[in-house]
Amino acid sequence: MPNKPSLFSEFSKGIIRENPNLVGLLGMCPMLAVTQEAKNALGMGLATTFVLIGSNFVISLLRKVIPKSVKLPAYIVIIAGFVTLIEFLLHCYFPELYSALGTFLSLITVNCIILGRAEMFACKNNVFRSVLDGAGMGVGFTLALFLVGSLREILGTGTWFGITLNGSYSVSVLTLAPGGFFVLGCVIAVVNKLAHKPAPRNIGCQGCPMADTCAASKGGCSQ
């Protein structure tokens, strides 16, 4: 069995190299929907991180107990539970953020990132690594949302976190959907340029979706 990646790299891979949103192109719906303002983007990212860590923790804890045939429904119930939990908390303590996020808070349940990490990582790795993975992916997602949100808010309305920086040079199409897509496209292009590294010569089997059926999993695949 090849050496497992270090604990730190489990966490850090989600930030740039395998950023779930900008490199993996998952979770696009909240990315476009709540990034008109940096504050909302940050809030959404943190809420998703909470759900990611929680669901990775529980799913990894129960990974040996949940039978394969009910894997997906079980994961979704667990994820939905965490999402409802964060909804209660936000409604209670941050009502402004709650109404700003609106439906998209409930839609965290179907965010591909969370189910994706559950499927690809949490069900195959121990609890500690799963939590680190969830945290890393969550941080990467939050940073991506925050970056796009800040760009859209600063260039689109001339404010940042509600503080007016410069009111007269704002291009408000950036706060609308078409501008959002455009900003997102540019950010994805830049981040992918930065993240582009040659593939490692020997990858471990943790993140590979073929690991269960792969005959080479004994010695690690070298693709």
Partner 1 sequence: MNQMLVSASPHERAPLPTWHIMLCVLLALLPAAAAGCVNFGYRALLLLSVTVGTAIFWEFLCRIIMKREQTVGDLSAAVTGLLLGMNLPPDLPLWQAAVGSFVAIVVVKQLFGGLGQNFANPTVVARIVLMLSFTADMTAFRDPNTDAVSSATPLVTGASYWDLFLGNTAGCLGETCALALILGGIYLWLRGIISPAAPLSFVGSFALCTWLAGNDPLSQVLSGGLLLGAIFMATDYVTTPLTAKGKILFGIGGGCLTFVIRQFGGYPEGVSFAILLMNLLTPYIDRISMTKPFGTTEPREKEVRSDA
Partner 2 sequence: MPEWIKAPLVLTLICGLVSAALVFANDLTADAIAAAEQARLQESLRDAFGEAEYTVPDLQFDGINQVILDKRGNVIYDITSTGYEKDGQHLLIGLDEAGAVSGICVVSIEDSPTQSAKVQQDSFLSQFIGWDAPDRSYNAISGATKSSEGIQKAVALALQTDLDNREVIRNAE
- CA pair distance 190, 38, nearest whole angstrom: 20
Binding site for partner 2 (CB under 8 A): 36, 62, 65-67, 69-70, 73-74, 77-78, 80-81, 84-85, 88-89, 91-92, 95, 99, 156-157, 172, 175-176
Nearer of residues 25 and 173 to partner 1, judged by Cβ = 173
From partner 2, partner 1, none, which one binds at residue 139 (CB under 5 to 8 Å depending on kind)? none
From partner 2, partner 1, none, which one binds at residue 157 (CB under 5 to 8 Å depending on kind)? partner 2
From partner 1, partner 2, none, which one binds at residue 55 (CB under 5 to 8 Å depending on kind)? none
Nearer of residues 7 and 85 to partner 2, judged by Cβ = 85
Which SS3 state, helix, strand or coil, does residue 215 take?
helix
The interface mask with partner 1, positions 160-189, x = CB under 8 A, is ---------xxxxxx-x-xx--x-------
- CA pair distance 33, 41, nearest whole angstrom: 9
Count of positions on this chain that bind partner 1 (CB under 8 A): 10
Of 130, 132, 178, 134, nearest to 152 by C-alpha is 178
How many residues are present in the chain? Answer: 223
From partner 1, partner 2, none, which one binds at residue 62 (CB under 5 to 8 Å depending on kind)? partner 2
Residue 133 contacts residue 206 (beta carbons within 8 Å): no
Give me the sign of the Cα torsion angle 194, 198, 200, 204. positive
Rounded CA Rg of the chain: 19
From partner 2, partner 1, none, which one binds at residue 174 (CB under 5 to 8 Å depending on kind)? partner 1
From partner 2, partner 1, none, which one binds at residue 202 (CB under 5 to 8 Å depending on kind)? none
Specify the DSSP class assigned to residue 201.
S
Q: How far is the CB of 82 from partner 2 (least distance, A)?
A: 9
- Ramachandran sector of residue 159 (left: φ over 0; alpha: ψ -120 to 50; beta: rest): beta
Give me the sign of the Cα torsion angle 35, 38, 42, 44. negative
Q: How far is the CB of 4 from partner 2 (least distance, A)?
A: 28
Nearer of residues 26 and 59 to partner 2, judged by Cβ = 59
- CA pair distance 51, 110, nearest whole angstrom: 11
Q: How far is the CB of 159 from partner 1 (least distance, A)?
A: 16
- CA pair distance 108, 106, nearest whole angstrom: 5
Q: How far is the CB of 215 from partner 2 (least distance, A)?
A: 25
